[in-house]
Amino acid sequence: MLDLAIIGGGPAGLTAGLYATRGGLKDVVMYEKGMPGGQITLSSEVENYPGICEPVSGMELMECWPKQAMRFGLKHEMEEVKRVRRECDGSFTLELLSGKTESAKGVIVCTGSTPKRAGFEGEEEFLGRGISTCATCDGFFYKDKEVAVLGGGDTALEEALYLAKIASKVYLIHRRDTFRAAPSTVERVKNNPKIELILNATVKKAYGNEMGLEGIIIEQNGKEIDLKVPGLFVFVGMKVNNEVLKQEDGSFLCEVNEWGEVVVDLRMRTNVPGLFAAGDVRSDASKQVVCAAGDGATAAINAIEYIEKIGELKPC
Ligand code: FAD
Ligand code: NAP
């Protein structure tokens, strides 16, 4: 039986692995379905991770993280975890997509979240090269430039307000003429002189060159508009990657909130003893690399304490 299983190999999972193994746990496996690094590897420029003097790509930022964690004994299995179950002795069973199973005394879920795609032509091509899903991360690259935001929910409108403090102008594109966002936020957006609303409109296509995005084609009331902007922020909802916690009867193994985020306390503990969550998958996450890494460290420190305290598991 493993001491600890970590699900997900992004900043949260890798940091959890580093702290768990360096903190003395012997059998620690990190399950990552792809290459370790997480969603930040999609970003072409990161400049807000502390200690980075010059902007680096997400790939560059994450390059050494797996090597560092594995130096202390973390094992990486390139496997997708299908489900986590809790057994009557308090241990956890991980069902892997490959059909194998593994047991662990403790589990840290670090599966992240995935921004939804709007589905227009060129969206994937320019993601990380002008198309962004994170204003805190990429807004500064558009200082005193014009940008567009797509979406009509709380995230789109709040991020449009944030971007209006940095960019010279923000075009807010929404497919209807009423918003899903809170009325007070809608008022603030409407009263902001730097935000121009483009309503009943959809983005048809993003275009550019090898340097990045040059503009977008919008369709509004049957007419096409060519908006020349170097940046488009897409906020059409987030998918929380909580599937591993879904049980066969459709319930969740631990408490999740109305948006599907895993509810944790300040020690990253869920309401199930031995089950922790860290990074973008947890409730109230700031959705930043530095925060995910901090969560991973916190979860691992508390998982070590939990595993040391329970000692050997008692049979059912
Ligand atoms: P993730 O990075 O999402 O990692 C989760 C990992 O879990 C993934 O590797 C996934 O493959 C794996 N996984 C999921 N489910 C399973 C499963 N069932 N089995 C096995 N493995 C699984 N943040 C910043 O601080 N600064 C920035 O400049 C910045 N720029 C960004 C730019 C872009 C384009 C994007 C998309 C995000 C950006 N972010 C930035 C946000 C940052 O990437 C996230 O906050 C951070 O990666 C979250 O880390 P995490 O470990 O919680 O999750
Ligand atoms: P959301 O509420 O689901 O809104 C997504 C928006 O994107 C909607 O306006 C939707 O349009 C639009 N959209 C969806 N698919 C699209 C597509 N393919 N093309 C164009 N537009 C598309 O998502 P969110 O804004 O990320 O918020 C998620 C949840 O978190 C919400 O419950 C929200 O209230 C909450 N949240 C709360 C706060 C806060 O309380 N301060 C802050 C952020 C988020 P339609 O409206 O036409 O469907």
Domain boundaries, the chain: 2-114+238-310, 117-234
Among protein residues, the one whose CA lies closest to atom 3 of ligand 1? 112
Nearest to 162 by CA among 142, 179, 184: 142
Among residues 138, 254, 280, 295, the one annotated as catalytic is 138
**117-234, what's its fold?**
FAD/NAD(P)-binding domain (3.50.50)
Q: Which ligand gives the minimal distance to the CA of 174?
A: 2
- Cα 90 to ligand 1 centroid, rounded to whole Å: 29
What is the number of the ligand 2 atom nearest to the C-alpha of 157?
A: 25
Contact (Cβ atoms closer than 8 angstroms) between residue 105 and residue 91: yes
**2-114+238-310, what's its fold?**
FAD/NAD(P)-binding domain (3.50.50)
Strand 231-234 and strand 146-150: the pairing is parallel
**Separation of alpha carbons 183 and 190, rounded Å:** 10
Q: Which of 116, 137, 213 to mutate to test the pocket of ligand 1 (most atoms within 8 A of CB)?
A: 137
For the record, the structure tokens of 265 come out as 């306390």
**Helix 289-310 to helix 11-22 angle, to the nearest 10 degrees?**
40
2-114+238-310 and 117-234 agree in CATH topology? yes
Q: Give yes or no for residue 19 CB within 6 A of ligand 2.
A: no
Return the H-helix or E-strand segment holding 219: strand 212-220
Q: Say what the pLDDT of residue 216 is.
A: 98
Strand 223-227 and strand 212-220: the pairing is antiparallel
Q: Say what the pLDDT of residue 38 is.
A: 94
Q: Give yes or no for residue 120 CB within 6 A of ligand 2.
A: no
Q: Say what the pLDDT of residue 155 is.
A: 85
Tens of pLDDT, residue by residue, the chain (316 residues): 999 999 999 999 999 999 999 999 999 999 999 999 998 887 777 888 999 999 898 899 999 999 999 999 999 999 999 999 999 999 999 999 999 999 999 999 999 998 899 999 999 999 999 999 989 889 999 999 999 999 999 889 989 999 999 999 999 999 999 999 999 999 999 999 999 999 999 999 999 999 999 999 999 999 999 999 999 999 998 899 999 999 999 999 999 999 999 999 999 999 999 999 999 999 999 989 999 999 999 999 999 999 999 877 778 8
Contact (Cβ atoms closer than 8 angstroms) between residue 262 and residue 242: yes
Q: What is the pTM of this model?
A: 0.85
Using CB distances shorter than 6 Å, the residues near ligand 1 are: 7-13, 31-34, 38-40, 42-43, 46, 48, 80-81, 110-112, 115, 128, 132-134, 137, 241, 244, 279-280, 287-290, 292
Q: Which of 123, 220, 236 to mutate to test the pocket of ligand 2 (most atoms within 8 A of CB)?
A: 236
Q: Say what the pLDDT of residue 207 is.
A: 98
E strands, 110-229, in order: 113-115, 131-132, 146-150, 169-173, 195-198, 201-209, 212-220, 223-227
Q: Say what the pLDDT of residue 285 is.
A: 95
42: burial class by Cβ within 10 Å (0-12, 13-18, 19+)?
middle
**Residue 226: Cβ within 10 Å count:** 11
| Distant-in-sequence, close-in-space partners of 305: CB < 8 Å, separation ≥ 6 | none
Among protein residues, the one whose CA lies closest to atom 9 of ligand 2? 152
What is the number of the ligand 2 atom nearest to the C-alpha of 238?
A: 26
Q: At residue 279, what are phi and psi to the nearest 5 degrees?
A: 90, -155
At residue 250, what is the residue type? G
Is 53 part of the annotated catalytic residue set?
Answer: no
